[in-house]
Amino acid sequence: MAESENIVVETAEKIFADLADAQTINSDKTGSWKAPLWQALSEAGLPLAWVPDDLGGSGASLADGFAVLNAAGRFAIAVPLAETMLAGWLLAQAKIASPDGEMTVVPASPKDRITLNVDGSLSGRARGVPFAKSARHFAVLAHGNDGISIALVDAAKGRIEAGINVGYDNSDTLTLDKVEPIAIKPAPKGFDQSTLMLMGGVVRSLQIAGALESMLDISVRYSNERVAFEKKISKFQAVQHNLARLAGESAAALAAATSAADAIANATSFDDAVYLEAASAKIRCAEAAEKGGAIAHQVHGAIGFTIEHILHRYSLRALAWRDDFGSESHWAVELGKRVAARGADELWPLVASR
């Protein structure tokens, strides 16, 4: 790990440890923890980590940002850090400066589409937009007659229907009706909605992998504390087997997510190799979220299902992140189509090259 990554990740982890303790947040019914956490993250330059210095950001590398997001997943933070980082990255593709404050990206689903009208305004409807209600600005990918454009939009100009995902975080429906953007520029050649979805999918994969790491730690610790039939439940073979399975799911998710992140960080474009890595990571991490969450709750028994216990902060968010930027079933179908189009003779060279 590079020295710069050490500094960036250590800064993020310290902020998370000081201001995003799961038990403290779980006991806070007013949400008073959010403002100090966001202020600390902003002062450290983390929300705009992927934005170059000349566009108002911190100019951190993709690898640094990916490592921060994995750490954020380990704390299951419920502020739009990942969304703002992704929005800043999207705007930077078109050399649009990022404003201060919370942002999110639109659309957040491969099936939704925002249209660039001939008069330069934006129209369309996007579902499941994470933290749209909390955002001050949107980074929008729009389809026009002349191709793909990237726009910065004032959040107050959109109509938001509030929604909540299974992790109790905002997942809103946004409608743009001939909204004039603050800034709009053509996307780079070859950049399309699939590119944004793949990048978002890797972001969510890293967060899921981080959440699974925490679920494993919490479950192991609990099994060494809980006593049944006069011995710790960690001594029971069935519990040991479940913890081993959970460790396997966590390790598989982390390997897939970090491999995809590394592929993107070292690539010059979202080619077939990156597509394979990113789609595979989202598929595998989404599967791990389902299996790993079920195992963690089984180890905890009834107490793990209570709102007072912190386990649900990780398990439910991991499940919610499965659907953002394309579900595992979507990417499985799309990956299958791409492999089939290349032909049988090209499959093994592509897989072996990774």
Print the domain residue range for 34: 1-77
What is the mean pLDDT of the segment spanning 277-281?
97
Distance CA 160, CA 336 (A): 35
pLDDT at 339 > cutoff 90: no
Helix (H) or strand (E) holding 273: helix 272-300
Do 215 and 166 share a structural domain? Answer: no
Last residue of one domain, picked from the residues 190, 220, 238: 190
Distance CA 315, CA 346 (A): 38
Nearest to 20 by CA among 210, 206, 193: 210
Do 329 and 256 share a structural domain? Answer: yes
- Mean pLDDT in the chain? 93
What is the mean pLDDT of the segment spanning 289-304?
92
Do 339 and 198 share a structural domain? Answer: yes
Nearest to 149 by CA among 90, 199, 108, 201: 90
pLDDT at 26 > cutoff 70: yes
Please write the tens of the pLDDT for every residue from 177-235: 999 999 999 999 999 999 999 999 999 999 999 999 999 999 999 998 888 887 888 88
Helix (H) or strand (E) holding 202: helix 193-223
pLDDT at 6: 77
Distance CA 47, CA 146 (A): 31
More confident residue, 78 or 347: 78
Do 329 and 263 share a structural domain? Answer: yes
Do 162 and 199 share a structural domain? Answer: no
pLDDT at 69: 97
Domain count of the fold of the chain: 3
Position 316 in a domain? yes
pLDDT at 348 > cutoff 60: yes
Please write the tens of the pLDDT for every residue from 6-16: 788 999 999 99
Position 86 in a domain? no
Position 84 in a domain? no
Please write the tens of the pLDDT for every residue from 149-178: 999 999 999 999 999 999 999 999 999 999
Do 108 and 143 share a structural domain? Answer: yes
Do 200 and 117 share a structural domain? Answer: no
Do 116 and 43 share a structural domain? Answer: no
pLDDT at 5 > cutoff 60: no
CATH number of the domain enclosing 221: 1.20.140.10
pLDDT at 338: 87
Task: Say which residue the tokens 């934006």 belong to.
Answer: 122
Position 85 in a domain? no
pLDDT at 352 > cutoff 90: no
What is the mean pLDDT of the segment spanning 125-149?
97
The model's confidence at residue 354, banded by pLDDT at 50, 70 and 90, is low
Distance CA 274, CA 198 (A): 9
CATH number of the domain enclosing 139: 2.40.110.10
Position 290 in a domain? yes
Contact present, 137 and 87 (Cβ < 8 Å) = yes
More confident residue, 240 or 344: 240
pLDDT at 148: 97
Please write the tens of the pLDDT for every residue from 36-48: 999 999 999 999 9
pLDDT at 1 > cutoff 50: no
Distance CA 323, CA 67 (A): 21
Do 322 and 229 share a structural domain? Answer: yes
Do 251 and 239 share a structural domain? Answer: yes
pLDDT at 33 > cutoff 70: yes
Position 93 in a domain? no
Helix (H) or strand (E) holding 75: helix 62-75
Task: For residue 229, give the amino acid letter.
Answer: F
Do 127 and 8 share a structural domain? Answer: no
Do 343 and 247 share a structural domain? Answer: yes
Distance CA 289, CA 131 (A): 21
What is the mean pLDDT of the segment spanning 294-311?
90
